[in-house]
Chains A and B, each alone.
Chain A
Amino acid sequence: MFTIQALIVLFMPLGLTEPIRYQILALNVVVGSVLGRYLYKQWYHLDFSYDDLGFELRKGKSPPVTHKWKEFSQVSLVRDERGEFVVRLHRDESRVEIPASKLKLDPFRFRSDVMNLVAKTGS
């Protein structure tokens, strides 16, 4: 949409676009905000909830991932290339990650909470 708009503006005589350039800017800001919010909600927004038994993590509009704490045997804290922390839950062959930094949680404190929950439900 922005490419089409840019082409229209580029090939239109300056006299036609000059009087409405602020309206074009305002339209772009509105369209950008609405589209950005829609895409964020669709793909990136994280919903996380947990209790003593397990947790549920949902990214965008994809189906939620649900696990019980007792499925896991070990917990670690991982720093990725961008310096963000995730809490990694290990079970036999696989692992599940909770993006602590993206969820605005204190990763070190959250990791100890998760360790306590895993220890409590595992025993």
Chain B
Amino acid sequence: MPEVLGRIEKAMMKGRGRWVANFDESFREYRVGDVTFDVFISGNTREKGFLISRFFSFFLNPNYEVGFFAVSAGLENEPNSRRLRKWILAVKSCMRKAEMKWAWLVLVGSTISDSFAKQVQEAVDQAVGIAYVDVDRRQVVCSENYLGRQLKRYLRIW
């Protein structure tokens, strides 16, 4: 799982998510209250670039602060509804503090149970996209809101 987390972080930092946001600062072992996220990457929806891309980005893209959180949901951090709620609350608290408009939460774990997959898919918060990366089955389960559906595209790590 640490290897998968490392791969996700590298992909995001090297521009995998650039069609949504420019993720440019990455923290490991990032603490929010009593929750520790393995990876937190902050970014902005206004893509930087050279002359023309900078010009279009300035006039067309919203200037939103965004965040990407990833946490290992392994044996000692086994995912359940209580823990999922705790992670989402930690993400929301960080969003409030840093004035972020959108955030993505990625859980990396082994075989996902059907009930937990349903909880991930039915997550209702429109400002937080959630995805569960099942390392054993090599599949990604995403929340069905707009941000969750976007996430699926950026988590092709195999």
Genuine A/B complex: yes
Separation in Å of the B91 CB from the closest CB of chain A?
A: 18
A79 touching B29, Cβ below 8 Å:
no
By size class, the interface of chain B is: 10 to 19
A111 touching B24, Cβ below 8 Å:
no
Verify if B152 is at the interface (C-beta below 8 Å from A): no
The residue in A75, A77, A115 that gathers the most chain B C-beta atoms within 10 A of its C-beta is A77
By size class, the interface of chain A is: 10 to 19
* Contact residues in B for A92 (Cβ distance below 8 Å): none
* Contact residues in B for A108 (Cβ distance below 8 Å): 6, 9-10
Tell me the complex Cα distance, A102–B9, Å.
Answer: 21
A77 touching B29, Cβ below 8 Å:
no
Verify if B13 is at the interface (C-beta below 8 Å from A): yes
A88 touching B25, Cβ below 8 Å:
yes
A76 touching B48, Cβ below 8 Å:
no
Tell me the complex Cα distance, A80–B22, Å.
Answer: 10
Give per-residue flags for A54-76: 1 if the beta carbon is below 8 A from chain B beta carbons, else 0.
Answer: 00000000000000000000111
The residue in B26, B29, B48, B49 that gathers the most chain A C-beta atoms within 10 A of its C-beta is B26
- Report which of A76, A80, A83, A112 forms a contact with B27, defined as CB distance below 8 A: A76
B13 touching A79, Cβ below 8 Å:
yes
B24 touching A74, Cβ below 8 Å:
no
B10 touching A76, Cβ below 8 Å:
no
Tell me the complex Cα distance, A78–B23, Å.
Answer: 9
Tell me the complex Cα distance, A21–B9, Å.
Answer: 55
Separation in Å of the B97 CB from the closest CB of chain A?
A: 15
Query: What are 10 contact pairs spanning A and B, CB under 8 A?
Result: A77-B25, A77-B26, A79-B23, A79-B25, A80-B24, A81-B48, A88-B25, A108-B6, A111-B28, A115-B28
Q: Which residues in B have some Cβ–Cβ distance to A below 8 Å? A: 6, 9-10, 13-15, 23-29, 48-49
Additional A-B contact list (18), CB under 8 Å, known A78-B24, A78-B26:
A74-B27, A75-B27, A76-B25, A76-B26, A77-B13, A77-B25, A77-B26, A78-B25, A79-B13, A79-B23, A79-B24, A79-B25, A80-B24, A81-B49, A83-B15, A85-B13, A108-B10, A115-B29
Q: Which residues in A have some Cβ–Cβ distance to B below 8 Å? A: 74-81, 83, 85, 88, 108, 111-112, 115
Instruction: Rank and list the top 4 A-B pairs by shortest CB-CB distance, nearest first.
Output: A77-B26, A76-B27, A78-B25, A81-B48
